[in-house]
Amino acid sequence: MKRAVPILLSLALTASLTTAALAEEHAAGPAVAEAQIAYPVVKDAATPPDKQATYFRYTPEDFKFRGNSTPVIFVLGDGVWTAETAADALTRGGFDQMAQEESGHIVFVSPSNGASWTEEDYAVMQALATNVTDDYTYTLEQAGTYDAGVTEDGIMYAGRFRSYTFAEGSAQAFVKTYLDTPDSTYWVQQWNNVVDGFSAAYHYADQFDRSDNLSAWQDMRRINRISMMDGVTYLDKYYVYSDYGIRESIETFTTSKGNTMEYYQYIPKGVDVNSKTAKYPLVLVSHGSNQHPEGYVQLTNWPIVADQENFIVVAINAHNLVDTDEILELVDFMIDQRAVDASRVYATGYSMGGMKSWTLGFERPDRFAAIAPTEGIPGMGKNAVTLPDPSQTIPTFFVAGEKEFYDLFPMNSEAAIAIIQQLAKANGFEYNGVYDESLGKYYGMETDKTYTYCPRPARSDDEAVMTVHELKSGDGNVYTILTSVSEMGHSAYPDSAQRMWAFFRQFSRNSDGSLNVNPLPLAADVPSDSWYAGAVRHVLDNGMMNANGAFSPSAPLTAGDLAQALYVRAGSPAEGFDAWTQANGIPTGSAAVTREELAKAIRACAACKGKTGAAPAAPGGFQDGASASQDALWAVSNGIFSGKNGGRLDTSAQATRAEGAQALTQLSLFLAR
C-alpha cells in the first residue's frame, strides 16, 4: 500500500500555484534564491493547499535547459537553511560544481515546522518534486526564455526523471523513512502521472563534505528513473556519453529554403566520419512536441546502440519547422561530409516525432530503408489525416502504449486503421480494414506471429511488456511489425532502440530506391533454414542466451544457461542474478538439464506470470507418455514441447541448447496469448 499522506496536486490548483504560492519572492545573495512552495497538494482536491514551506534554490548563471536531461538535486540538512547557510553548503558540499557541470538545480529544503523533520515534510517534498516542467520549445530557447531556470511562476525547468537527494545529519532518518523507500510516490501534474518512487539515487552523510559528495555524485548522476505510467517506474542508466567515447555535438545546417536547422549529432568512437572508404548507417531521431531533442535521445538509448553497432545518430531540433525535402538535404550533407551510407538511412521518433517518421517514410520510401514511429500516427488518432501512399515497400516497426491517452490503435481510431491499410498496400500483407476484437484487443486483426519481449525490471509489480505482431508479406518477408506495450502511457519504451535496430539492419536501399533484405546474422553454426533458427534469434535478441561466435545448438543446455534465461525472462530483477537465483532456489552451474527439468522450469515461469494454460495432455499420445510428468505433458498441451521422432517425449534425455531456445521462444508466444 502507498502512504496515505495527501500527495498529489490537483489540476484545478494551477491558477493558485501560478500566483503567490510558487512565485519567487526575493533574491538571497548572488548564489541562492528564496522561494515558497504550497502544500499539501492533493490530486483532484476541491480546495487549494493551505500551507507554505520555504526553500532555497541555486541555478547556475549559464543555465542550459536540456529537457529531461536537466537534474534537480534536493539537499536536506541537519536543521533549517538560511540564505547564508545554504550558500555555505553550496560550496562546502560541492553542489555548485554539480549544478554547473550538469546545468541543473540545487534545492535546499528545511523542516516545515522550523525545528525537526516530520511526516508532514513528506508532503513538502512531493510538492517540490511536482514543481517542474520539461516543456521545451526551440524558438523560446532562442528568445532566452529558459535562461533563468524557472518560469515566471517559479516552476523549475527540469526533467521529471533526474531527481537526486542528499541528506545530512537528522535528515538522513527522514529520507530513509519517507523518500528512499518502495512506498514513496509523487504526482507529475504536467503528465497527470503518479511516479512510483522519489529520487533516482540518494547519498547520506553526518556532515556534508565536498570531496565525498562529488565522489558519490559520479555514480548517482549515471542513474535515471523513468516513469512509464502510473506506478510503473524503471531505474535505468543515465548515459554520460564521454564514458563510451561517444562524441556529442550541436551542429547547424542551412537549407536551400533559408531555414537553419539545429541538430544534435552523436558519433561513436568506432565511426570515422572522415573515412573515404568506410560508410556508416544513419538514424534520424525525432523528438515529441515540447520536448528537448537531447532529453529524448537520452531516454531512447540510441547513441549507446550506435556505439555497439557503429552508426551515426542525428536528432533535429524543432524538426516540425522543416519539411521532408529539407531534412533530405541534411541527409545528403551527412552522406557527403560524414561518411554516411546512403543505402542505410532510417527514421524514428516519438509522438510528434512519430508522425514525422511516418511522413518521411511515406513521402520518400526510396530514401529511407525503414521507419519506426513511436506513440504517434498522422492526426494522433483524432482525424484521419492521410499521407500519400508509399510508392514502394517501406519497412515499419510501430510502438504504442496500451495505456496511451491518444487513440493510436484500430480498437479506437479510424486513423490507425487507415494508416495500416496504407501499409498493407505498400508492404504486401493482407488487411481488410475491419477491427475484430476476437483477433486481439488492440489491433483486432490477423497476424502471422505474436510474441512478447522480456520485460524490464520495474519498482512495482506491474511490468511494461512489449507484445510483437509480425505481418508477413506475399514474398515471405516481414516488412511490418506492430507492437503494444502494457503499462505504458504516452512514453518511450526503454529498450525500443535495441528492438528497432534489430529490425532496421535487415533493410537497405539500392541507388534506384529498390529495397534489399539482408537476413539477420545468426551464429556461425546456426543455418538460417534450421528448425531452431528463429528461436535462436529470439533468445539472442532478448539476451536470454549467449553466442560467442557459435551457439552450439547440439550442446547440452546447462543449469546456468536456463537460470540466465529465466532471470532475464523475469525482467532481470534488481537484486542481481546470484541473489535472485538463490532466493528462488534455481540451480546454476554447468550441470546438464533434462527435458523434464526444462518443462518444469517453463511451467513454473508461466505460473509466476499468472498463466496456467491448458490442462496437461493425455499420456497415451506418446510411447513413453506413461512415465512423463504432468509438467512435461503440460508443456505439450501448451505448445512448449513436441514429441521426438518415434512419438517419444524422452523426458529423461538431456535438453540441447537448440531445444532450450525453442522452449523459451514458445514460452514468449504462450505468454502473449
pLDDT band, very low/low/confident/very high, at 195 (cuts 50, 70, 90): confident
pLDDT score at 22:
35
pLDDT number for residue 87? 95
**pLDDT recorded at residue 136:** 95
If 0-12 CB within 10 Å is exposed, 13-18 middle and 19+ buried, where does residue 579 land? exposed
pLDDT at 519 over 80: no
> What nine digits make up the cell of 487?
503499462
Per DSSP, the chain holds a count of helices (H) and strands (E) of 19, 25
User: Contact 39/98 with Cβ under 8 angstroms?
Assistant: no
Q: Which residue has the cell 521507419?
A: 371
pLDDT number for residue 456: 60
Which residues lie closer than 8 Å to 576 by C-beta, 6 or more apart? Answer: none
Grid coordinates of 596: 523434464
Q: Which of 50-54, 57-61, 124-128, 644-648 has the lowest mean pLDDT?
A: 644-648
Within 10 angstroms of residue 29's Cβ, the number of other Cβ atoms is 12
How far is 645 from 358, CA to CA, in rounded Å? 48
Rg (CA), the chain: 27
Nearest to 129 by CA among 72, 51, 83, 84: 72
pLDDT digits over 49-64, tens only? 889 999 999 999 999 9
CATH class of 241-517: alpha beta
**19 φ, ψ (degrees, to nearest 5):** -110, -115
The reported pLDDT for the residue numbered 11 is 28
- Cα separation of 502 and 468, whole Å? 13
Whether residue 186 has pLDDT greater than 90? no
Rounded Cα distance between 378 and 356, Å, is 9
- In the predicted model, is pLDDT for residue 635 greater than 60? yes
- Which residue in the block uniquely carries the three cell numbers 505468454? 671
Max Cα separation, the chain?
86
Determine the Cα angle at 600 with ends 599 and 603, to 5°.
Answer: 85
Q: Which residue has 508461466 as its cell numbers?
A: 606
Across 2-16, 134-148, 322-336, 370-384, which has the greatest mean pLDDT?
322-336
Question: Is residue 587 reached through a cis peptide bond, with omega within 30 degrees of 0 on the bond before it?
Answer: no
Q: Are 528 and 522 in contact (CB under 8 A)?
A: yes
Mean local confidence (pLDDT), 298-315:
95
The alpha carbon dihedral of 319, 325, 330, 332 has a sign of: positive
C-alpha cell at 442: 488492440
For residue 239, what is its C-alpha cell? 548515459
Residue 21 has a pLDDT of: 36
Q: Which residue has the cell 533574491?
A: 27
The model's confidence at residue 9, banded by pLDDT at 50, 70 and 90, is very low
Q: At what angle do helices 657-671 and 533-541 cross, to 10 degrees?
A: 70
Q: What pLDDT is attached to residue 15? A: 30
The pLDDT of residue 301 is above 60:
yes
Most confidently predicted of 179-193, 253-267, 403-417: 253-267
Q: What residues are paired with 186 via a beta bridge? A: 195
Helix (H) or strand (E) holding 298: helix 293-300
- Judge whether residue 17 has pLDDT over 70: no
**CA 255 to CA 264: how far, in whole Å?**
16
Percent of all residues in the chain with a pLDDT value above 70, rounded to a whole number: 91
Q: CA quadruple 592, 597, 599, 600: dihedral positive or negative?
A: negative
Can you tell me the distance from the alpha carbon of 259 to that of 94, in angstroms, rounded to the nearest whole number? Answer: 42
Find the helix packing angle between 595-608 and 559-569, rounded to 10°.
Answer: 20
Which H or E element spans position 345? strand 340-350
pLDDT at 44: 66
Percentage of the chain beyond pLDDT 90 is 69
Tell me the pLDDT band of 12, cut-offs 50, 70 and 90. Answer: very low
User: How do the domains of the chain map onto residue ranges?
Assistant: 11-221, 241-517, 533-671
| 154, three cell numbers | 517559479
Average pLDDT of the residues of the chain:
89
Residue-wise pLDDT tens digits, 455-483: 665 444 456 788 899 999 999 999 999 99
pLDDT category at 382 given cuts 50, 70, 90 is low
CA distance linking residue 4 with residue 206, whole number of Å: 30
Grid coordinates of 643: 514429441
Least reliable range by pLDDT among 186-190, 495-499, 580-584, 600-604:
186-190
Show contacts of 614-619: CB within 8 Å, 24+ apart. Answer: 614/638
Residue 350 pLDDT = 96
Q: Which of 2-11, 145-154, 393-402, 621-630 has the lowest mean pLDDT?
A: 2-11
Degrees, nearest 5: CA angle 175-123-20: 125
Across the range 351-372, mean pLDDT stands at: 97
pLDDT band at 549 (very low <50, low <70, confident <90, very high): confident
In terms of Cβ atoms closer than 10 Å to its own Cβ (0-12, 13-18, 19+), residue 310 is middle
∠ Cα 369 347 268 (to 5°): 100
What is the DSSP track for 534-600? Answer: HHHHHHHHTTSS--SS---TTSBPBHHHHHHHHHHHTT--TT-HHHHHHHTT---SSPBPBHHHHHH
Three-class HEC string of 9-39: CCHHHHHHHHHHHCCEEEEECCCEEEEEEEE
3-state secondary structure of 331: helix
DSSP letter (8 states) at residue 607: H
Q: Does the pLDDT of residue 46 top 90, yes or no?
A: no
Stretch 568-586: mean pLDDT: 86
What is the average pLDDT across 532-553?
A: 88
Give yes or no for residue 369 having a pLDDT over 90: yes
**Is pLDDT above 50 for 555?**
yes
pTM of the shown model:
0.87
Of the pLDDT bands very low, low, confident and very high (cuts 50, 70, 90), residue 383 is low
Return the C-alpha cell found at 14: 494551477
- Bridge partners for 372 per DSSP: 348
Q: Is 1 exposed, middle or buried (0-12, 13-18, 19+ CB in 10 A)?
A: exposed
Q: Over 50: is that where the pLDDT of 6 sits?
A: no
pLDDT tens per residue across span 214-224: 999 999 999 98
Q: What three-state secondary structure class fits 458?
A: coil
